[in-house]
Amino acid sequence: MLCKKCNNENINDNSVFCSNCGEKLHDLSTTSIVIPTNNTKKKRLKYFILALSVVVVILSCSGVYLYADQQNKKQQEVERIEAYKTDLDTAVVQLIGYSILSENICSLYSKVWDLSIKSKNGIKVNGHIANNFNEAIRYQKDYLTDNNVISGLQKNSEKVDVLMQRLNSPPEEYKKSYDVLIELYGYYTQYMEQAISPTGSLIEFNNKSNDLSSQISKLYNQFKILLPNLDETKITKTVEQFDF
């Protein structure tokens, strides 16, 4: 503010006296002081409440979304576990059922094998006279092939492989069952190979068949505990679909 007496430029416009000559620059009574009115306070309070309301709405919406998302994930996990259990049951039924089928086939091989060794004049197998055990086994296998038993084993093997791939990431509650399933799968594949391509001597063949049958039976008993609701009738139906 400019002093009228000495023309000194006072830096602070609100100064009452000149900083150079001490001249009174203006009267305090003329100084305007802005005092917030009640309307201003009300407006500020209104904006604050509005902003707070917006924040509350946003937080509420976020909470609802997070809750819905969590519930959706829980539901998806429940469905995943249920689907896994269904596939697991199916795999067990297939592995046990076709292991029993392999056992029945190996029993047929063992029977004609033994008869052909003991017979001096040959034996009749599938309408043919087998003069040695190699012919007896071949004729028996031809019979099984003609009745789609061998092809049934091979097709099932492909289905089981697909199932096993789907089951390789078990939920926590089915990890023990999966470990037993892997062990069962190993014995099943050996038994199936024995049924499709019998090799070795009769004693070796029978010993291996008996060992595989024993191991699979033990694992099956474990599944009766691990999967108490397993439908055992499906195993019987799996075997009975092949009439030989």
Contact yes or no for 25/10 (Cβ under 8 A): yes
- Average pLDDT of every residue of the chain: 87
| Tens digit of each residue's pLDDT (9 = 90 or more) over 191-228 | 999 999 999 999 999 999 999 999 999 999 999 999 99
The 3 state secondary structure assigned to 174-242 is: HHHHHHHHHHHHHHHHHHHHHHHCCCCCHHHHHHHHHHHHHHHHHHHHHHHHHCCCCCCHHHHHHHHCC
What tokens appear for 213 in the block? 């049958």
Helix axes 38-118, 149-166, angle to 10 degrees: 150
The amino acid sitting at 77 is E
pLDDT of residue 236: 92
What is the chain's percent helix, strand, coil content, to nearest 5?
Answer: 70, 5, 25
What tokens appear for 86 in the block? 């269904």
The DSSP code sequence of 72-117 is: HHHHHHHHHHHHHHHHHHHHHHHHHHHHHHHHHHHHHHHHHHHHHH
Maximal CA-CA distance, the chain: 151
Give dist(CA 107, CA 203) in Å, integer. 13
Residuewise pLDDT in 10s, the chain (244 residues) = 677 777 777 777 667 777 777 777 665 444 444 445 567 767 777 777 887 777 777 777 777 767 777 888 889 999 999 999 999 999 999 999 999 999 999 999 999 999 999 998 999 999 999 999 999 999 999 999 999 999 999 998 899 999 999 999 999 999 999 999 999 999 999 999 999 999 999 999 999 999 999 999 999 999 999 999 999 999 999 899 887 7
Rounded to two decimals, what is the model's pTM?
Answer: 0.71
pLDDT of residue 33: 46
| Tens digit of each residue's pLDDT (9 = 90 or more) over 187-197 | 999 999 999 99
